[in-house]
């Protein structure tokens, strides 16, 4: 049974992600709507002038294809996110889920003019854990950093792995910028410490440790 | 006769570019800005009959941009065009002095009608200002 605070925190997480992603999807539909209008304009002109600008039509079709692909990508990521609640404990590729949550939070980061970069590992990093909880806690970390870092910052994510746990390494750019004082301590108060742990390795380098529960039960 | 000048402000540059093309085909002169700061710079440098402004943008959001624009030029006709129009935000924008709030995706005819209304409002304001100025001159001369 989850307590009321956790229930609210889950709702808040789902609300923020779906609000942001559906806004992005609405942008795609708005652009498609404008291209559709442009096609109507072209048809109207072709009817009155009896000529068709094939080059222009081809350009519109190409742009429509790109927006449809963008929309499909948004839906695929939202669907993956929604399915992250299917199992409490499952073997999954951490790369995929980290990429997913970074993708879903990119628009929020863009609004703050902060860049999120993910360096996807070549080999799958397979762990046993709760993918939804991992994503929620990484989201809490990213949200906190979006609140505290200055605009134009860039956060680069990579994953390192060993037998007992996986580590997501966050490096801050430009090189002159450091994580604000007490970042790790403040984050520890926000996250679920059963799911992950956080520590600063260097002033501009932080690690998020995620246990592989096929090997260990908790930190 | 000079064309009606409209500024489109949206961080979705592709959206602005297609809408600009469609409005251009309907006889409007369109300028675009990709964020609030660029819009403020453009409004300072040029005269627009209408501003079409997005709500959610990086840096200054639509409401913040609206406040700054109207503080500098209270007669500006600003139409908010947004994909996340909550009732509260819409009311806030109207209270601040926005001409109207439209939801994305919006029909082009609706947008054109709003631009026409903006143009008419601006003409009324200019004509009212001219009348007041004439009245002041006449009063100062004791006529």
Question: How many whole angstroms separate alpha carbon B69 and alpha carbon B74?
Answer: 8
Mean pLDDT of B55-80: 94
DSSP letter (8 states) at residue B127: H
- Give B25→chain A minimum CA distance, Å: 9
Residue of A15, A37, A56 to mutate when probing chain B, most B C-beta within 10 A: A37
**Total number of domains constituting chain B:** 1
Query: Residues 94 to 113 of A: which have CB under 8 A from any B CB?
Result: 110-113
Q: Do A31 and B108 touch (CB under 8 A)?
A: no
Give the architecture (CATH level 2) of A90-211: 2-Layer Sandwich (3.30)
Q: For chains A and B, what is the number of CB pairs under 8 angstroms?
A: 51
Residue A10 structure tokens = 């889950």
CATH (domain of B22): 3.40.50.2300
Residue A176 is predicted with a pLDDT of: 78
How far is residue B133's CA from residue B118's CA, in Å, rounded to a whole number?
A: 22
pLDDT cut 70: percent of chain A above it: 96
Q: How far apart are CA B2 and CA B121, in angstroms?
A: 18
Neighbours of A217 (CB within 10 A): 7
Rg (CA), chain B: 16
Structure-block tokens of residue A120: 């996807």
Q: Does A219 lie at the interface with B, CB-CB under 8 angstroms?
A: no
Q: Which ipTM was obtained for this model?
A: 0.85
SS3 for B53? strand
Instruction: Please give the Cα distance from A144 to A138 (Å, whole number).
Output: 10
Inter-CA distances, A154 with A109, B17, B49, Å: 10, 28, 39
Mean pLDDT of chain A: 89
For residues A189 and A144, is the Cβ–Cβ distance under 8 A? Answer: no
Domain extent, residue B34, equals: 5-141
Question: What is the C-alpha R_g of chain A?
Answer: 21
Task: Give the residue extent of every domain in chain A.
Answer: 4-83, 90-211
Would you give per-residue pLDDT tens digits along chain A (219 residues)?
567 888 888 899 999 999 999 999 999 999 999 999 999 999 988 888 777 889 999 999 999 999 999 999 999 999 999 999 998 899 999 999 999 999 999 999 999 999 999 988 778 888 899 999 999 999 999 999 999 999 999 999 999 887 777 888 889 888 778 898 899 999 999 888 888 889 998 999 999 998 887 765 444
| Cβ-Cβ contacts under 8 Å, B58 against chain A | 110-113
Packed helices A131-148 and A94-111: angle between N→C axes, nearest 10 degrees? 30
SS3 content of chain A, % helix, strand, coil (to 5): 55, 20, 25
Q: Which residues pair with B82 in a beta bridge?
A: B103
Contacts of residue B84 in chain A, CB cutoff 8 Å? 19, 23, 26
Q: Kindly state the tokens that stand for B2.
A: 């000079």
Element (H, E) at B65: helix B62-72
Residues of A in contact with B104 (CB under 8 A): 26-27, 30
Cross-chain Cβ contact A34/B83 below 8 Å: no
C-beta separation of A163 from A174 below 8 A: no
* Count of beta carbons in the 10 Å neighbourhood of residue B69: 24
């Amino acid at each position: 049974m989850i307590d009321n605070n956790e229930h609210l925190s889950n709702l808040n997480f789902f609300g923020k992600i779906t609000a942001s992603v559906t806004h992005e999807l609405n942008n795609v539909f708005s652009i498609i709507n404008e291209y559709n209008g442009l096609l109507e304009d072209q048809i109207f002109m072709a009817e009155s002038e009896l000529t068709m600008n094939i080059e222009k039509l081809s350009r519109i079709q190409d742009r429509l294809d790109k927006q449809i692909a963008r929309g499909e990508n948004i839906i695929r990521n939202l669907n993956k996110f929604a399915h992250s609640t299917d199992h409490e404990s499952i073997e999954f590729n951490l790369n995929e889920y980290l990429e997913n949550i970074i993708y879903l939070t990119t628009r929020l980061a863009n609004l703050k003019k902060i860049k999120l970069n993910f360096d996807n590992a070549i080999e799958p990093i397979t762990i046993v854990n709760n993918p939804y909880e991992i994503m929620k806690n990484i989201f809490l970390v990213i949200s906190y950093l979006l609140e505290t870092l200055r605009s134009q910052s860039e956060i680069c994510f990579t994953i390192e792995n060993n037998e007992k746990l996986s580590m997501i390494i966050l490096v801050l750019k430009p090189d002159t910028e450091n994580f604000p004082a007490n970042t790790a301590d403040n984050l520890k108060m926000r996250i679920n410490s059963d799911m992950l742990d956080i520590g600063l390795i260097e002033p501009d380098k932080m690690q998020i440790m995620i246990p592989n529960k096929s090997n260990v039960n908790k930190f | 006769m000079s064309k009606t000048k409209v500024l489109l402000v949206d961080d979705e540059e592709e959206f602005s570019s297609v809408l600009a093309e469609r409005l251009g085909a309907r006889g409007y002169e369109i300028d675009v800005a990709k964020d609030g700061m660029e819009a403020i710079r453009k409004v300072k440098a040029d005269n627009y009959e209408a501003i079409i402004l997005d709500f959610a943008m990086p840096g200054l959001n639509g409401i913040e941009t609206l406040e700054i624009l109207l503080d500098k030029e209270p007669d500006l006709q600003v139409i908010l065009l947004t994909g996340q129009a909550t009732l509260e935000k819409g009311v806030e924008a109207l209270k601040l002095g926005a001409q109207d709030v439209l939801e994305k995706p919006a029909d082009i005819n609706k947008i054109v009608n709003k631009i026409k209304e903006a143009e008419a409002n601006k003409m009324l304001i200019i004509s009212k200002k001219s009348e007041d100025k004439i009245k002041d001159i006449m009063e100062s001369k004791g006529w």
